[in-house]
């Protein structure tokens, strides 16, 4: 009797799972097919064109300008703008961000050799992120 009950319980569990999963198979396949078609449509796009679809073209121009200014192996100070820290940091990789929570305060070692030479204000909204020479930004605040 106990074995029969366990067998029926297992079958009920399997039927409940099937009732949950089977109706979702067709929408999942349609969604996958839609994503594959969309990927095929954008197969020959450049990196900047893809970025322009998800963000604004002014953002792409600003990122391009910053990439041309800061060498790939350099570090930069990243100042919070409108909440785009993660995106700007990701789009500027492999450049290394040094987070600057309080831009009013000169960071420790800002004037030492090997300190980041640029300050990037992260913004997603137009005009996009901006880059400034660190010496200009920290000049007014004096040397420590």
Q: What is the pLDDT of residue 103?
A: 65
pLDDT of residue 2: 77
Strand order in the sheet with 118-121: 96-99, 75-79, 118-121, 130-133
How do residues 35-67 score in pLDDT, each as one tens digit?
999 989 988 998 888 888 888 899 999 999 999
Q: How far is Cα 12 from Cα 139, in angstroms, rounded to an integer?
A: 74
Chain Cα centroid distance, residue 108: 27
The answer to whether 119 and 98 are in contact (CB under 8 A) is no
Tell me the pTM.
0.68
Give the tens place of pLDDT for each residue, 73-96: 999 989 888 777 788 999 999 999
> What residues does each domain of the chain span?
47-139
Helix segments in the chain, DSSP class H: 2-41, 47-54, 57-69, 85-91, 134-139
Burial of 102 per CB tally in 10 Å (0-12, 13-18, 19+): exposed
Per-residue confidence (pLDDT) for residue 110, from 0 to 100: 66
For the segment 105-134, what is each residue's pLDDT rounded down to a tens digit?
777 666 677 788 899 999 888 888 999 998
């Amino acid at each position: 009797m106990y074995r029969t009950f366990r067998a029926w319980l297992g079958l009920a569990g399997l039927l409940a799972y099937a009732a949950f999963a089977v109706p979702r198979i067709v929408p999942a396949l349609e969604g996958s097919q839609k994503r594959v078609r969309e990927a095929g449509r954008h197969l020959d796009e450049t990196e900047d064109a893809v970025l322009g679809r998800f963000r604004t073209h002014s953002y792409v121009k600003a990122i391009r300008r910053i990439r041309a200014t800061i060498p790939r192996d350099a570090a930069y100070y990243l100042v919070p703008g409108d909440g785009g820290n993660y995106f700007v940091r990701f789009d500027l990789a492999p450049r290394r961000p040094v987070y600057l929570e309080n831009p009013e305060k000169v960071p420790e070692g800002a004037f030492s050799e090997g300190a980041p030479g640029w300050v990037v204000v992260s913004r997603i909204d137009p005009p996009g992120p901006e880059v400034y020479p660190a010496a200009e930004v920290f000049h007014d605040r004096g040397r420590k």
